[in-house]
Amino acid sequence: MLTLSKKAEIMPASPIRKLVPYANEAKKRGVKVFHLNIGQPDIESPKEALEAVKKNTLELVAYPDSKGNESYRKGLVKYYQGINIDVTEKDINITTGGSEALQIALAVTCNPEDEVIVIEPFYTNYNSFATQNDVILKPISTSIKDGFALPDPSEFEKMITPKTKGIIICNPGNPTGTLYTKESMLKLGEIAKKHELFIFADEVYREFCYTDQPHFSAMHIPGLEKNVILIDSVSKRYSLCGVRIGAIVSKNQEVMNAVLRFSQARLCSPAYGQIAAEGALATPQSYFDAVRAEYIKRRDFLIEALNKIEGVYTPMPMGAFYTIASLPIDDSDKFAQWLLEEFQYEGKTVMVAPAAGFYATKGRGTNEVRIAYVLKIEDLKESVKCLEVALKQYPGRTIK
């Protein structure tokens, strides 16, 4: 009998991408769709990355090393040392995006039915990675009312069982834009030490911090060298989402030896992607300064504009380029689909990501959406206007 696996049946659809068919149909009808649903920056990739690909002299595109190109890993060592993360080449394994990095990290540390604590709302694909590895995500809820601040250590203590293997933390956070302080990270480190847990530290938005204090990495926590598995990617840092290059970084050599075996099983990460990523290491600081300034302008405009709409609230994100907004609606999934199927304002509409898919606790996020401020301010202005009009017309509006 031809049947699917149980795993296939429970694999969740992405709330970020599941509405794409509706957006495509809207575009066919001539409606302009502003994509606020996905973290695809409109910022140009650094010319250093593009030129590295254009100028390469490969005459045969062979398999790269399963660990990643040696020259690229050496370059990454210098990059990490520049932000006070002391690693060597043997501590780095190149992956096919940050997604594969976390998939492999869970695979080499967790057995079926093991538990990993996650702070919700969280990047929706953590659900998928857990499903792929038969891992159970145990959510600790945060609240939009306090800007999704890291919960008290006692909340983590309540969740820990003999099956708990680690904690996933995204800092700065996707989907909330929350930036965790040094003090918060040190408290998290104390929990990991006490209970011998891994910290899976997703830091792909490291360069997008909007405070005067430098980003405090999980790798900076003293005495936690064996516990931390760093997940990294070039997708956001250099606006190179399509090259699909990430990395696992850890000083735990037992972990890294296992990571290599899993990497060998999938052969290698993309050759040209690694060439682009290595070229990007030469990106000047002026590029990052300009990008940061641009995102701060977008953030400041968007947050002020959203909070002026009746019934809408969103906190001020201090990192990444996302915010979670609560809306006066009955159901964010229905609303997001309605925006694409039935609504338009002056031939335009917006696409948002329903937030329920960023929670593991049923019933959470049903009146929230994630908005990515990855568009220029002119487009954000039109997007907010569309959203304001839509919220007045939506049949499931909860305030009259």
Q: Where are the domains of the chain?
A: 6-44+286-393, 47-280
What is the distance in angstroms between the CA of the first residue and the CA of the last residue of the chain? 53
Which secondary structure element, helix H or strand E, spans residue 202, and what is its range? Answer: strand 198-202
Global pTM value: 0.95
Q: How many CB atoms lie within 10 A of CB 377?
A: 15
In order, the DSSP letters of 1-49 are -----HHHHHPPPPTTTTTHHHHHHHHHTT-EEEE-SS----SPPPHHH
Contact 150, 184 (CB under 8 A): yes
Write down the pLDDT at residue 72.
98
- Per-residue pLDDT band at 271 (split at 50, 70, 90): very high
Give CATH for domain 6-44+286-393.
3.90.1150.10
Of the candidates 151, 285, 186, 166, which has an alpha carbon nearest to the alpha carbon of residue 229? 166
Write down the pLDDT at residue 142.
96
Per-residue pLDDT tens over the stretch 136-180: 999 999 999 999 999 999 999 999 999 999 999 999 999 999 999
Q: What whole-number distance in Å separates Cα of residue 391 and Cα of residue 47?
A: 41
Name 319's bridge partners: 209
Give CATH for domain 47-280.
3.40.640.10
Task: Give φ, ψ of 397 to 5 degrees.
Answer: -60, 140
Write down the pLDDT at residue 15.
74
- Per-residue pLDDT band at 213 (split at 50, 70, 90): confident
pLDDT of residue 400 exceeding 80? no
